[in-house]
A and B are shown apart, each in its own frame.
Chain A
C-alpha cells in the first residue's frame, strides 16, 4: 500500500490512518500530543480531578490505538470518533456502568476514498467555522450541550438559534452520510 502525502486531509486524519493501516507509533504520538490536553480539559470540565482526568486520557488514547480498525474517515472525522470514545469512557467511569451503545456496523475494511474524505473534512471545516462565528453566549450554550452540561429538557428549551445554526451545517453532511450508511446496511 502506498501513501502519498495528501494535503486535502487534516493532520489528524493522516495520523489516524497511519495508526490504523500501519500501526505507526510516531503518528500515534502526534495524535496524543494533539488530543491529550483537550481530553484532559474535557474530563476536568466534567468534574474529574487531574489524576482521574489523566486516567480518562490514557484510557481514551489506548482505545484509539486498539480500536483504530473501526475508524472510517469517510463517515466521521477523527475528532468525532475521539469525542464519542471519550464521552462513553467518562460516563462509564462516573456512573460505574456501561452506557447503552448502538450496534456497530459491520464493514469491510476498504481503501479510503479520498474524495469522500475531502468532502467530510470540508464539512467539518464549515462546522468549526460556524461554531467560531457564533455569538459568545450561543457558543457557550453549544459547548455546554456537547460537554454534557445541559439536560435534555434544557437543550430542548434552548434550541433557539444556536443549535439551529449548527444543525443547518450538520444537515449539509447528512445526505452523503445517509447514502454511506444505507450502503453498509
Chain B
C-alpha cells in the first residue's frame, strides 16, 4: 500500500475519542484508524488527553455495596463475547462488523456504480460504493460533512488525488465530482449527513464522465 497522504483531523479524532461522533462518521474513523498507524497514534494521544481529564474530574462516591459486588464478580466466568469479525480482503474489521461478517451485497445504481448502505439514522448514513474505473461518483449533495475513505483503487476530484487508505474530508462548501482512476474499480466507504438516496443520478451518468 502506498503511503497514506490524507488523514483525519484533530477535531474528528477528539470527537471520536469522546464517543460523540455520529455512527456513520465513527465507522469511517474506525476504518481509517485500522489502516493508518499515524492516526492510531494520534487517536491514542487524544485518549490520553481524555484520561487526563478523567483523572482531574471531581468524583462521585460509589454506594457502599458496589466495591464488594465488583470484587465478588471477579470470580464469575469471563462473559462470553460474540466474536467480532476480522479484516477480510480490503475490508478492515469495523467494516466487516458493519457487514455482519458477510461480503457486500451490492445494489446497482446505474452506470456500473453499486452501493451497499451499511447504516443510516437521523444523523447520517454510511455506505460502501463501487465505482468502475473512469466513472464519476453520482451527484450526492451533502448539507454538511462528508467523509470518504478509499478501500481499493483511487479517485481524484477538484481538490486532489486519493489513493487506498486516504480519507477525503469535504465540508458543505465543497462542490466536487470525484472520478475513479483507471485501473482497479474504486471501492470507498462514504459517510454523509445526507438522506439515503443520491440525487440526479441519471442525468450525470448520461454525460461523458471521464476524459483523457
Interface residues of A (CB under 8 A from B): 25, 28-29, 32-33, 36-42, 44-45, 50, 53-54, 57-58, 61-62, 65-66, 75-84, 86-88, 90-91, 95, 97-103, 105, 123-124, 127-128, 131-132, 142-143, 145-153, 155-156, 159, 163, 166-167, 170-171, 173-174, 177-178, 180-182, 185
Contact = CB atoms under 8 A, between A and B. Distances in A.
Contact of B54 (A44, A76, A86, A166): A86
A4 to B, nearest CB: 26
Contacts of B58: 41
A61 B27 CA distance: 26
B23 A100 contact: yes
B200 interface: no
A100 B94 contact: yes
Interface in B82-136: 87, 92-94, 97-98
B157 to A, nearest CB: 22
A69 to B, nearest CB: 11
B139 interface: no
A80 B60 contact: no
Interface of B: 9-12, 14-15, 17-21, 23, 25-27, 29-31, 33-34, 37-38, 40-63, 66-67, 69-71, 73-74, 78-79, 87, 92-94, 97-98, 144-145
A39 B51 CA distance: 11
Given A102-B92, A102-B94, 7 more contacts: A41-B57, A45-B57, A149-B20, A150-B18, A163-B10, A174-B45, A178-B41
Nearest to A91: B19
A58 B71 CA distance: 10
Contact of A53 (B30, B60, B67, B144): B60
